[in-house]
Amino acid sequence: MEQALEAEDLGKRYGRAWALRDCSFELPAGRVAALVGPNGAGKSTLLHLAVGLLKPDTGRVRVFGREPHGAPATLGEIGFVAQDTPLYRDFTARELISLGGRLNRRWDAALARDRLSALGIPPDRPVGKLSGGQRAQVALALALAKRPRLLLLDEPVAALDPLARREFMQALMGAVAESETTVLFSSHLLSELERTCDHLIVLQTAHVQLSGSVDELLDGHRLLVGPRDAAPPDGVEKVVRAAHTERQSTLLVRSRALPAPAPGWTEREVSLEDLVLAYLADTETRDVETAWEVTA
Ligand code: ADP
List domains and CATH numbers for the chain. Answer: 3-214 (3.40.50.300), 220-291 (no CATH)
Question: Is the distance from the beta carbon of residue 37 to the nearest atom of ligand 1 less than 6 Å?
Answer: yes
In this prediction, residue 286 carries a pLDDT of 36
Question: Is the distance from the beta carbon of residue 40 to the nearest atom of ligand 1 less than 6 Å?
Answer: yes
Q: Among 36, 45, 46, name the best residue to mutate to test ligand 1's pocket (greatest count of ligand atoms within 8 A of Cβ).
A: 45
Stretches in the chain below the pLDDT threshold 50:
284-296
Question: Is the distance from the beta carbon of residue 226 to the nearest atom of ligand 1 less than 6 Å?
Answer: no
Question: Is the distance from the beta carbon of residue 45 to the nearest atom of ligand 1 less than 6 Å?
Answer: yes
Quote the longest CA-to-CA distance of the chain. 68
AA identity, residue 48: H
AA identity, residue 46: L
Please write down the HEC assignment for all residues of 33-90. EEEECCCCCCHHHHHHHHCCCCCCCEEEEEECCECCCCCHHHHCCEEEECCCCCCCCC
Residue 44 CA to residue 47 CA, distance in Å, equals: 5
**What is residue 198's three-state secondary structure?**
coil
Percent over 70 (pLDDT), the chain: 93
- The count of other CB atoms within 10 Å of the CB of residue 230 is 17
CB 259 within 8 A of CB 234: yes
Question: Is the distance from the beta carbon of residue 56 to the nearest atom of ligand 1 less than 6 Å?
Answer: no
- For 102-147, the pLDDT digits (tens) are 988 889 999 999 999 999 999 999 999 999 899 999 999 999 999 9
CA of 40 from ligand 1 middle (Å) equals: 6
Q: Which atom of ligand 1 is nearest to the CA of 20?
A: 10
CA of 157 from ligand 1 middle (Å) equals: 19
Residue located nearest, by CA, to atom 18 of ligand 1: 19
CB 123 within 8 A of CB 131: no
Looking at every residue in the chain, the average pLDDT score rounds to 88
Question: Is the distance from the beta carbon of residue 42 to the nearest atom of ligand 1 less than 6 Å?
Answer: yes
In this prediction, residue 282 carries a pLDDT of 64
Question: Is the distance from the beta carbon of residue 19 to the nearest atom of ligand 1 less than 6 Å?
Answer: yes
